[in-house]
Structure 1
Amino acid sequence: MESTLTPEQAKAFYDRFGAKQDRQGFYENPARRDLIAQADFETAAAVFEFGCGTGDFAARLLAEHLPPRCAYTAVDISDTMVRLARARLAPWRDRARADRSSGSTTLEAADGAFDRFVSTYVLDLLSDEDIRGLLAEAHRILAPGGRLCLAGLTHGAGPIASLVSGLWQAFFALRPALLGGCRPIALCGYLAPDRWRIEYRNVRTAFGISSEVVVAARLDRKAGRRE
């Protein structure tokens, strides 16, 4: 069984890490661009982001892709990250907010309140139980026709990337805190077919690091259809 960071350990790490997180863009940005191209953000009315970090991705969406009236709610466990995100989102303060979460995967949001649920490079630091709990909450707060929009570290595609992800997993097994608690996972494996219909899935590799990009439509659990 993998030993992931506790919420307290994750908060302490990212409080220290702060703005240095943006340096990871060299491998994260290609996957995020792919996600933007596939998630139809131009028609979104309300976005919820779990684990907003410095607010870089939120600011990019608000500046370039979301409609002028789209509301944006972002949460993060780190006080440092929330402070950075609030500063970055200040130009859209009338419709964008960043709040600190408790570390729980239970979300303080109403049922069906959002049409996009975004989380990039966050699920890969959660335990299996917390990933499933978060996805259940994402399903709850998404409106009929809403989309789940994810990106994160995954197992290497190709010889070099396979070697990199293998080394990453080995280091993670020894000292997960050295890697910010992140490890390669298969996002699609957590998506229950009676809750989600995968509309897009791709693996992007940059500098030997592979990332999985997933866009999935919310399904009516009972009827097994997109609402």
Structure 2
Amino acid sequence: MKSPAHPTNDMLPARLPPERVVATYTWIAPFHDLLARLVEARARALGLAWAAVEDGEDVLEVAVGTGLSFRHLLRMNPNGWTEGIDLTPAMLRRARGRAARSGSRRYRLRPGSAYDLPYPTASFDLLLNSYMFDLLPVEDFPVVLQEFYRVLRPGGRLVMINMTRGTRWYHQLWEGLYRIHPALLGGCRGVLVAPYLDRAGFTGVRRRFVSQWSFPSEVLYAQKP
């Protein structure tokens, strides 16, 4: 996949300051899952399918949120080890409740930042990241992707899901909401991340567009050589 010369041209700037992320998602946490099921479920399901977890792997989910995907990772990896991090304590509390109900004991959930992952180099076979890059400033994409690259083992897989740019008029309604009040969408806007995966050194990049109730998502897969 070739990178366009100016991959940022079609992306709106990030408008939720980092210092407001935790407060915003603390407010969102009680009703996050309802919105996620309405507009994210198809993209999340495809991301998990592309992750193709093999039981016994070391798996990391960055920005675990309320654990909507994490619970499936635990089910798919009963004899492996699964880690999850998130910035927001209110989201982590809900993820911990879901994980506890799974019956698994082979996991850990803890606070953490994607900018400085608290893991040694080459620790994981798979890294899953959902609906986080659509919050980040474009200039931070390479920084976070290098952290993802660092903690993956050679041959490790990266699966990402983000809000993206759509081509139909009704996809633009979501960006209209973002322009009016970013917090209404949790600070998320449409992004195009695939070109940055190439630049970060990942190979085998593939992308699929998914729309659910007009909400545009991209699902990305890549490998560390």
Q: If the length of structure 2 is used for normalisation, what is the TM-score?
A: 0.87
Corresponding position of 2:175: 169
Aligned partners of 1:16 and 1:72: how far apart in 2?
27
The Cα shift of 1:197 comes to: 1.3
The Cα shift of 1:174 comes to: 3.6
Match of 2:184 among 147, 159, 178: 178
Tell which deviates more after alignment, 45-54 or 188-197: 188-197
Match of 1:54 among 55, 66, 70: 66
The Cα shift of 1:57 comes to: 0.7
What value does the CA root-mean-square deviation take over the aligned residues?
1.9
Q: Say how many residue pairs are matched.
A: 212
How do 1:74-113 and structure 2 match up within 5 A? 74-90=84-100, 91-92=102-103, 94-101=105-112, 103=113, 105-113=115-123
The Cα shift of 1:216 comes to: 0.3
Corresponding position of 2:149: 139
Aligned partners of 1:84 and 1:194: how far apart in 2?
32
Structure 1 portions without partners, runs of 5+: 219-225
Corresponding position of 1:124: 134
The Cα shift of 1:180 comes to: 0.6
Aligned partners of 2:48 and 2:56: how far apart in 1?
12
Aligned partners of 2:26 and 2:33: how far apart in 1?
14
Corresponding position of 1:29: 41
Aligned partners of 2:26 and 2:166: how far apart in 1?
29
The Cα shift of 1:217 comes to: 0.6
Tell which deviates more after alignment, 92-101 or 70-79: 92-101
Distance verdict in 2 for CA 1:129–1:43, change over 3 Å: farther
Tell which deviates more after alignment, 120-129 or 36-45: 36-45
Structure 2 portions without partners, runs of 5+: 1-11
Question: 1:62 aligns to what SS in structure 2?
Answer: helix
After superposition, the C-alpha distances for 1:42-86 in whole angstroms (9 at most, x for unaligned) are 2561111111111121002212x22x2211111111110111111
After superposition, the C-alpha distances for 1:185-207 in whole angstroms (9 at most, x for unaligned) are 11212212461113432111111
Corresponding position of 1:223: none
Deviating above 3 A after TM superposition, structure 1's stretches of 4 or more consecutive aligned residues are: none
Question: 2:31 aligns to what SS in structure 1?
Answer: helix
Q: Is the 8 A contact 1:19 1:54 kept in 2?
A: no
Corresponding position of 1:15: 26
Q: Is the 8 A contact 2:62 2:114 kept in 1?
A: no
The Cα shift of 1:165 comes to: 3.1
Distance verdict in 2 for CA 1:43–1:197, change over 3 Å: farther
Aligned partners of 1:22 and 1:70: how far apart in 2?
26
The Cα shift of 1:29 comes to: 1.1
Corresponding position of 1:222: none
Report sequence identity in percent: 31
Q: If the length of structure 1 is used for normalisation, what is the TM-score?
A: 0.86
Question: 1:202 aligns to what SS in structure 2?
Answer: strand
Higher relative contact order (CA 8 A, sep 6+): 2
Q: Which amino acid aligns with 2:38?
A: F
Q: Does 1:192 align with 2:203?
A: no
